[in-house]
Amino acid sequence: MLRRFLFPLLIIVVLLAVVGPAGAGGWSVATLDTLPNCVIADTPLTVGFVVRQHGVHVLEDLKPEILATESESGRTVEVTAEEDAEGHYTAELTFPTDGEWEWILAAFGPEQPMPALTVLPADETCPDEDEEVVLTAEELAEQGADLFAAKGCVVCHQHDRSIFDAYASLNMGPELTTYHGDADFLCRWLDNPVAVKENANMPDLNLSGDEIEALIAFLSTESDETPPTESGWCGDLLARAAAK
């Protein structure tokens, strides 16, 4: 009798080992390292990202796929990312033509849409990276909307002004459409949630100060409290806090 019970149990254990955490876990969140800001046709673009099971624990040994589609022609580019560090993956995309390219990232679970890429003609060049770019409050909020998708926030949080209004969030975190938070608190929270709340479920996404400021601008669009507009304010706040 015991043998009859143990044999099917052994099969289940083996199957779980084969499918790994991805198959057993259900869903994941991909977080881009950086948001591509200049893409040129026929020039390779390296995309790096982390995949977290349930948005928390990094996942290894995956073969995430990226599918990009040019809006007008329907032409596609498809690549498989390779793991280069624990739970971190990179892929190299080369777009054959200029235009507006929509793309999705599929690690496991639901496909995750990313902000559309405007690919420039092959004979154009990108601006000097050292050149300072001053964004208006509206432009900063638009960048924050892109980051809300690129960093995976849209997977766990519903936001009616997300660039993917048809994307169904899993609602694992607070609904953020009408969130009215203090900018200083958001700066500290987005920099390192666990430092603010010890048992926070949200992981440290390794956001830069500029990314945090853009996300706060987006989240504060409907807020009565306008966040600081000067560039670098969040980094200055964190530096002052660290110096205490």
For the whole model, what pTM was predicted? 0.84
Residues 6+ apart with CB under 8 A from 132: none
Rounded Cα gap, residues 9 and 5, in angstroms: 7
Give the Å distances, CA to CA, from 6 to 19, 96, 114, 164: 20, 55, 45, 48
Give the pLDDT confidence of 22-42 residue by residue, as tens digits. 344 578 899 999 999 899 999
Q: Of the CATH numbers 2.60.40.1180, 3.90.1170.40, 2.40.50.140, 2.60.40.10, which one belongs to the domain with range 28-120?
A: 2.60.40.10
Rounded Cα gap, residues 69 and 235, in angstroms: 37
Give the pLDDT confidence of 109-137 residue by residue, as tens digits. 788 999 999 999 999 998 877 667 778 88
User: Quick one: pLDDT at residue 164?
Assistant: 66
Give the Å distances, CA to CA, from 4 to 8, 9, 15: 7, 9, 18
Top CATH class, 137-243: mainly alpha
Give start-end residues of each CATH 1.10.760.10 domain in the chain: 137-243
Query: Among 107, 89, 105, 114, which Cα is nearest to 39's?
Result: 114
Give the pLDDT confidence of 157-191 residue by residue, as tens digits. 888 877 765 455 666 788 888 887 789 999 999 99
Give start-end residues of each CATH 2.60.40.10 domain in the chain: 28-120
Pairing between β-strand 39-40 and β-strand 112-120 as defined by DSSP bridges: parallel
User: Quick one: pLDDT at residue 19?
Assistant: 39
